[in-house]
């Protein structure tokens, strides 16, 4: 995931010249993630992509210790030059027990004004042996600990960035339930259900078939995602036309911008009628012969059919 994020950040930097901030859930708050991001910088020395994540519940951090040169060195291997000195240990989740030192503000989270209490601390994290910025947050939405490797971000910016991550969940819901991006049915007989392959099966042929099946699945999801993006662009650019053509009924219109579901249904409702305007495109040549005629479906059955049915 870090490598995919870095590739996306590289494309963004080439197009805009701006570095990227990625919002991730607690699964990605790991040493490998932050180290991978730290290793990629721009030509002027800026980190190509920084991360804002939710820390896992069992994470601990340390206050930096002040070196005491007069103190007699303890037995054992000397500490590496430039390495950090760790002071008092802090169990991050335990800071929520006493919120007397927290700052209270009102922020717009998930589209609503919400009272938020937070405590921002710059602490040493042993996994990366660097200073990380931790923000302990408590609100009516919930309690959590956020962390980032970008010390220039304020606590309120970190909270706002992480709440924006929820938008991807609504996107997944639309792709799954509205667009059917994950309703693929590709399989291969080369991949046996049993653990052992049948005798006489060519392993190279099996691997090729499995790889081609994986590519078909990836292509299906990719095309569904592109279709979702096209409908999103249509919803923003042609909102009035979409609402005018929408054949259904919405109890409460929460936004001027129609949803993916409304856009898809409006487009499907007028697709057949508008298809003759695009008869030159290849997809029209495939669909047009399969369309049912505009005549009434049971017109050829005659009156006797309906009389007998009655």
Q: Does residue 129 sit in the same domain as residue 241?
A: no
pLDDT at 191 over 70: no
pLDDT band (50, 70, 90) for residue 296? very low
Q: Does residue 155 sit in the same domain as residue 185?
A: no
User: What is the average per-residue pLDDT within 224-234?
Assistant: 90
Flag whether 139 is in a domain. Answer: yes
pLDDT band (50, 70, 90) for residue 147? very high
Q: Does residue 238 sit in the same domain as residue 181?
A: yes
| E strand map for 190-279 | none
Q: Does residue 161 sit in the same domain as residue 209?
A: no
248: left (phi over 0), alpha (psi -120 to 50) or beta: beta
Flag whether 303 is in a domain. Answer: no
Q: Does residue 6 sit in the same domain as residue 136?
A: yes
Q: Does residue 227 sit in the same domain as residue 286?
A: yes
User: What is the average per-residue pLDDT within 63-87?
Assistant: 68
Q: In terms of pLDDT, which residue wins out, 298 or 224?
A: 224
Q: Which of 146, 165, 184 is the last residue of a domain?
A: 165
pLDDT band (50, 70, 90) for residue 190? low
Per-residue pLDDT of 1-25, as tens digits, reads: 777 888 888 888 888 888 889 888 8
Flag whether 308 is in a domain. Answer: no
Please identify which residue in the block is written with the tokens 């057949």: 272
Structural domain count, the chain? 2
Bridge partners, 123 (sequence order): 132
Report CA torsion sign: 226, 232, 236, 237: positive
pLDDT in the model for residue 198: 52
Q: Does residue 237 sit in the same domain as residue 281?
A: yes
Q: Shortest CA distance to 26 belongs to which of 142, 145, 149? A: 145
Q: Does residue 53 sit in the same domain as residue 185?
A: no
187 to 13, 129, 201, 218, 224: CA distances (angstroms) = 38, 46, 17, 13, 19
Q: How many CB atoms lie within 10 A of CB 197?
A: 13
pLDDT at 108 over 60: yes
Flag whether 75 is in a domain. Answer: no
pLDDT in the model for residue 134: 96
Q: Does residue 93 sit in the same domain as residue 29?
A: yes
What's the rounded Cα separation, in Å, for the pair 159 and 110?
A: 11
Flag whether 298 is in a domain. Answer: no
Flag whether 19 is in a domain. Answer: yes
pLDDT in the model for residue 68: 63
Q: Does residue 30 sit in the same domain as residue 50?
A: yes
pLDDT band (50, 70, 90) for residue 202? low
Q: Does residue 21 sit in the same domain as residue 158?
A: yes
pLDDT in the model for residue 54: 93
pLDDT at 263 over 80: yes
In the three-class reduction of DSSP (H, G, I as helix; E, B as strand; rest coil), residue 126 is classed as: coil
Task: Judge whether 109 and 128 are in contact, CB under 8 Å.
Answer: no
pLDDT in the model for residue 192: 58
Per-residue pLDDT of 130-145, as tens digits, reads: 899 999 999 988 899 9
pLDDT at 237 over 70: yes
pLDDT in the model for residue 136: 95
pLDDT in the model for residue 218: 87
Flag whether 76 is in a domain. Answer: no
pTM for this structure?
A: 0.66
Q: Which domain holds residue 286?
A: 169-193+204-290
Flag whether 73 is in a domain. Answer: no
Q: Does residue 242 sit in the same domain as residue 183?
A: yes
pLDDT in the model for residue 106: 92
């Amino acid at each position: 995931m870090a490598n995919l994020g870095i590739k996306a950040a590289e494309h963004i930097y080439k197009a805009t010249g701006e570095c990227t901030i990625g919002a991730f859930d607690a699964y990605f708050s790991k040493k490998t993630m932050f180290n991978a991001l730290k290793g990629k910088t721009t030509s002027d020395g800026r980190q190509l992509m920084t991360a804002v994540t939710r820390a896992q519940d069992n994470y601990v951090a340390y206050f930096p210790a002040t070196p005491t040169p007069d103190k007699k060195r303890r037995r054992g291997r000397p500490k590496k030059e430039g390495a950090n000195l760790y002071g008092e240990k802090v169990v991050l989740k335990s800071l929520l027990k006493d919120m007397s030192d927290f700052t209270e503000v009102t922020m717009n989270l998930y589209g609503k004004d919400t009272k938020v209490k937070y405590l921002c601390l710059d602490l040493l994290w042993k996994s990366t042996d660097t200073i990380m910025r931790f923000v302990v947050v408590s609100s009516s939405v919930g309690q959590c600990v956020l962390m980032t490797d970008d010390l220039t971000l304020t606590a309120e910016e970190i909270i706002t960035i992480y709440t924006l991550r929820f938008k991807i969940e609504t996107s997944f819901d639309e792709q799954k339930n509205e667009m059917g991006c994950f309703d693929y049915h590709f399989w291969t007989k080369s991949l046996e259900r049993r653990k052992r392959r049948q005798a006489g099966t060519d392993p190279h042929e099996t691997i090729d078939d499995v790889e081609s099946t994986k590519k078909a699945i990836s292509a299906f999801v990719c095309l569904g995602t592109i279709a979702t993006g096209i409908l999103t662009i249509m919803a923003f650019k042609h909102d009035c036309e979409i609402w005018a053509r929408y054949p259904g009924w919405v109890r409460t219109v929460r936004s001027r911008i129609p949803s993916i579901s409304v856009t898809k249904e409006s487009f499907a409702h007028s697709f057949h009628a508008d298809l003759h305007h695009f008869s030159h495109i290849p997809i029209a040549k495939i669909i047009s012969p399969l369309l049912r005629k505009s005549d009434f479906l049971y017109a050829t059955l005659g009156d006797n059919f309906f009389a007998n049915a009655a």
